[in-house]
Structure 1
Amino acid sequence: MKKNLVQFFNQPRFLRHVLNWYGPYRGAGVKVKHLADDYSSATVEMPLRWYNRNYVGTHFGGSLYSMVDPFHMLLVMNQLGPEYIVWDKEAKIEFISPGRGTVIAHFEVSPEHLDDIKAKTEDGQKYLPEFEVEVRAEDGTLVAKAIKTLYVRKKPQKAKS
């Protein structure tokens, strides 16, 4: 029974629902529309509402950033598995044009990127891979670009007794 429960909680579908009910995301109007079964990609969107617009009537920058904040870490962490430590290390966001209407961000972590991370952490060293994500309006207009730097390290092997 315990194994089935753990498997249930580790399903992408369950995580997507948890994120959609997560208070800060509900408060900003962020919705996780897609989370791939293998954690290789995710799509998040946020419509413009009275509670997430700024003083001039466009998307609040903090909400734009919050919609992209955890996803590369979650994708990498779940693809690499429990033998790795994965944390957000650094972030930068550049606001390109005013966000009006619904904005969308799509995240991908390719097998090649994972292979690179594994190769650079195999000896126990930390690695700081960077991931870029674009936030676009429904018509394709670029609203913002974010660069996320992760901290990744393979966990030390426990001594066998």
Structure 2
Amino acid sequence: MYQTITKIARTFFSNAQIYKYGFNWSPMYRRTTAKVTEVSNDLLYVKIKIPLSYKNKNFVGTIFGGSLFSATDPLYMIQLINILGKDYVVWDKAATIKYKKPARSTVYCEFIFKNDEIKNIKSVVAEHGEFNLIKNTNITDKNGVVISELSKTIYVANKSFYKEKLKLRRNK
């Protein structure tokens, strides 16, 4: 459903606008209380904010850790799907979050890819068919104090390699 809506939206909006408003209007993302606040035109940079509110406040009055995790969970994968395009398969494979300090106010997180990193991903996938990318980022308060450290493992494969891999798996 989301891919169909995205295809239609591309006739009227830029990829950055679709990414930003698609997340912010999506029911599952809205429940996290986070908002995508910035998206670069090339989608290499995304910034979110997670405000402390009655919807995500835990028993001790700070942002519930699950809200921090779910607000950050889909961003790298969807970002990379849009950057790499239809010839690649991209899946979240693993994620960890280390809570460093309680989130007592609005917090922020940036998701950044560099052009060299994208070239490297394409190069490794071209050579090996697939690649496990590890991305790390921090959730910080307005002063840059680290609240949580996030690590994501993202699986990237050439679409034809992935289809062949699935076929082999089914035949076992």
TM-score using structure 1 length: 0.89
Q: Distance in 2 between matches of 1:42 and 1:30?
A: 13
Of residues 84-93 and 24-33 in structure 1, the stretch that sits farther from structure 2 once superposed is 24-33
Q: Percent sequence identity over matched residues? A: 32
One-letter identity of the residue aligned with 2:65: G
The superposition leaves residues 86-138 of structure 1 with CA deviations (integer Å, 9 ceiling, x where unpaired) of 11111011001000110000110111111111111003521001001100011
Task: Give 2:21's aligned residue.
Answer: 17
Aligned ranges 1:72-83 → 2 under 5 Å: 72-83=76-87
Gaps of 5+ in 2: 1-6, 162-172
Task: Give 2:130's aligned residue.
Answer: 126
State the shift of 1:9 in Å. Answer: 6.1
One-letter identity of the residue aligned with 1:16: K
Of residues 124-133 and 23-32 in structure 1, the stretch that sits farther from structure 2 once superposed is 23-32
3-state SS of 1:156 partner: helix
Q: Distance in 2 between matches of 1:138 and 1:82?
A: 36
Aligned length: 156
TM-score using structure 2 length: 0.83
Q: Tell me the C-alpha RMSD between the 2 structures.
A: 2.0
Alignment of 1:135 with 2:105, yes or no, is no
Preserved CA contact (<8 Å) 2:98 2:148? yes
Q: Distance in 2 between matches of 1:37 and 1:88?
A: 23
Alignment of 1:154 with 2:158, yes or no, is yes
Which structure's residues are more often helix, by fraction?
2
Aligned ranges 1:68-107 → 2 under 5 Å: 68-107=72-111
Q: Distance in 2 between matches of 1:143 and 1:123?
A: 38
Gaps of 5+ in 1: none
Q: Distance in 2 between matches of 1:105 and 1:5?
A: 26
Alignment of 1:63 with 2:67, yes or no, is yes
Task: Give 1:39's aligned residue.
Answer: 43
Preserved CA contact (<8 Å) 2:97 2:149? yes
Q: Distance in 1 between matches of 2:77 and 2:42?
A: 14
Q: Distance in 2 between matches of 1:45 and 1:118?
A: 30
The superposition leaves residues 28-74 of structure 1 with CA deviations (integer Å, 9 ceiling, x where unpaired) of 32110011111101000011011101111111011101121111112
State the shift of 1:4 in Å. Answer: 7.4
